[in-house]
Amino acid sequence: MEYHAWFQCSEGCDEKYPLNEVIYRCRQCNGLLEVKHDIDLLRRRSGAAWKEVFNERYMRTQYPYGSGVWGKKELVCPNIDNENVVSMYEGGTNLFWAERFGNEIGLSNLWIKQCGNSHTGSFKDLGMTVLVSMVKQVVKRGGDIRVVMCASTGDTSASLAAYAAAAGIPAVILLPRDKVSHAQLIQPIANGAITLALETDFDGCMSVVQQLAERKDFYLANSINSLRIEGQKTISIELVQQFDWEAPDWVIIPGGNLGNVTALGLGFLIMRDLGIIDRLPRIACAQSAKANPLYESFQNDFKTFDPVTARATIATAIRIGHPVSVKKAINVLKKFDGIVEQATEDELANAAASADRTGLFNCPHTGVALAVLLKMVESRLIQRDDRVIVISTANGLKFPEFKIDYHQNKLKEVQPQHVNSPITVEPNYDTVMKTITHHLKTLN
């Protein structure tokens, strides 16, 4: 069966473009593009048959189908030849059963999807494998793409740099000089990306990258490129698969630029369209109170949306006041009886630390989602036996300062409730034993 997909304008005019065209907005109406699939063709296979295909491939050795993304290739990007796929075995991440944390907050069926346990340490790999594979295919077929580029200070640049390096395609990263630490940059630097520090702010970088993107030989990897959404939507397919194809009751996901919320929803919708699931979960989008335009819009039943000026937050990756995917995300949330909730700095840091004590190592964005979970339990929106999934978007190892500062009480606007510190003791049995005994009592 020859499945296929294409870009289509998502803002009214329905104009179509091939997926291998270097294009990000509709030439007719300037609307954002999205990837569309031939659903009728996909429906010729039953839901049960799709599940069987996906199960057979999952984490197996037949390249590239063992990848959690490429195992769902027909629903993601059927147009790419297998030999052009640039994959690092995406997905297949632990759906952590939060037994202890669930017990502590009164939930029996709480799960945390560890998307940060991936090649570059964040969920961005799920989308980047699709984008870079498309570029590789275009280049292989004689297309004139010389560079893949993005403006980003975090996970996107890390993921782009690694996939481009594996493919042997030059990557360019644009970022504001002096606003980015060496630790944030070390992944693209190590992967050999051409890393430009511009004497401007982030908006200035975006402006330059958009000018560069008018060249057909410079391919843009920022989230306006909807190929990435197609890979990211396998998050929902994979987590349903991990429950033997049963949809959960709630999914809570951190939201900044809102591409990930959109992708999550699209994954569930295509599964329902194909008869793989018969009901949808509800979705909660979790925002930082410092960058909460969707939360504000939700207070108004999404009747209006006003961008905000995002303020500094520990949850740096979702410090976004004017999210590029806001229209798509609102559409998705409406279909999922969705809600938007926010978390303060204090709430996100304490929620992350509280869950860490039960064996996790949460990034600050996961902290936002966990804080929202606590509020939803408190308000009874989530019930004791609901099956709830929290999407953990990045690896906590990317944020050592967040953890260190928390446990040293150095975070702004945070009163840490779960501090732990090394205890200095003399190196003899009696003193050590006495100290341990004392601390064991405090644990109980």
The interface with a copy of itself within residues 45-74 (CB under 8 A) comprises 58-61
Q: Where are the alpha helices (DSSP H) in 68-123?
A: 73-76, 99-105
Q: Which stretch binds a copy of itself (CB under 8 A): 34-42, 222-230, 242-250, 258-266?
A: 242-250
Mark the segment that binds a copy of itself (CB under 8 A) among 77-85, 200-208, 274-282, 323-331.
200-208
Closer by beta carbon to a copy of itself, 98 or else 340: 98
User: Measured between alpha carbons, how far is 392 from 41 in angstroms, rounded to an integer?
Assistant: 34
Question: Which residue, chain included where needed, has tokens 């004392």?
Answer: 438
Ranges within 302-331 binding a copy of itself (CB under 8 A): none
Q: At closest approach, how far in Å is the CB of 282 from a copy of itself?
A: 23
Q: Does residue 367 contact residue 401 with C-beta atoms inside 8 Å?
A: no
With CA atoms as reference, report the closest residue to 38 among 2, 92, 80, 86. 2
C-alpha span between 369 and 347 (Å, rounded): 10
Amino acid at 229: I
Contact 17, 23 (CB under 8 A): yes
Q: Is the separation of the CB atoms in 152 and 118 below 8 Å?
A: no
Cβ-contact 314, 348 below 8 angstroms:
yes
223 vs 392, beta carbon nearer a copy of itself:
392
Q: How far is the CB of 216 from a copy of itself (least distance, A)?
A: 14
Q: Least distance from C-beta 68 to a copy of itself, angstroms?
A: 10
Peptide bond into 64 cis (omega under 30): yes
Candidate segments 95-103, 253-261, 300-308, 317-325, binder of a copy of itself by CB under 8 A: 95-103
Q: How far is the CB of 160 from a copy of itself (least distance, A)?
A: 11
Binding residue (CB under 8 A) for a copy of itself from 23, 32, 41, 197: 197
Each residue of 82-117: b (16+ CB within 10 Å) or e? eebbbbbbbbbbeebebeebbeebebebbbbbbbbb
CB nearer a copy of itself, residue 331 or residue 358: 358
Q: Which is nearer to a copy of itself, 18 or 359 (CB)?
A: 359
Q: Which is nearer to a copy of itself, 189 or 269 (CB)?
A: 189
Per CB under 8 A, the list member of 13, 32, 53, 198 interacting with a copy of itself is 198
> In this chain, which stretch among 114-122, 281-289, 336-344, 368-376 interacts with a copy of itself, using CB under 8 A?
114-122
What is the Cα–Cα distance from 361 to 355, expressed in whole angstroms? 8
Q: Is 1 in the site for a copy of itself (CB under 8 A)?
A: no
Choice from 18, 108, 144, 243 touching a copy of itself (CB under 8 A): 243
Q: Pick the stretch among 74-82, 225-233, 363-371, 424-432 that binds a copy of itself (CB under 8 A).
A: 424-432
Nearer to a copy of itself, 101 or 295 (CB): 101
Residue 382 makes CB contacts below 8 A (sequence gap 6+) with: 107, 249, 250, 373, 376, 388
Contacting residue, 1, 279, 379, 443, with a copy of itself by CB under 8 A: 443
Nearest to 398 by CA among 68, 124, 142: 124
CB-based contact 160:132 (threshold 8 Å): yes
- Measured CA to CA, the distance from residue 236 to residue 270 in angstroms comes to 10
CB of 261 to a copy of itself, least distance (A): 25
* CA-closest candidate to residue 326, choices 12, 22, 10, 5: 10
Count of C-beta atoms within a 10 Å radius of residue 1:
8
Site for a copy of itself in 382-421 (CB under 8 A): 395-398, 400, 403-404, 407-408, 418, 420-421
Q: Which is nearer to a copy of itself, 79 or 159 (CB)?
A: 159
Nearer to a copy of itself, 39 or 419 (CB): 419
Find the binding residues for a copy of itself in span 327-366 (CB under 8 A): 353, 356-361
What residues from 115 to 174 belong to the interface with a copy of itself (CB under 8 A)? 117-121, 146-147, 162-163, 165-168, 170, 172, 174
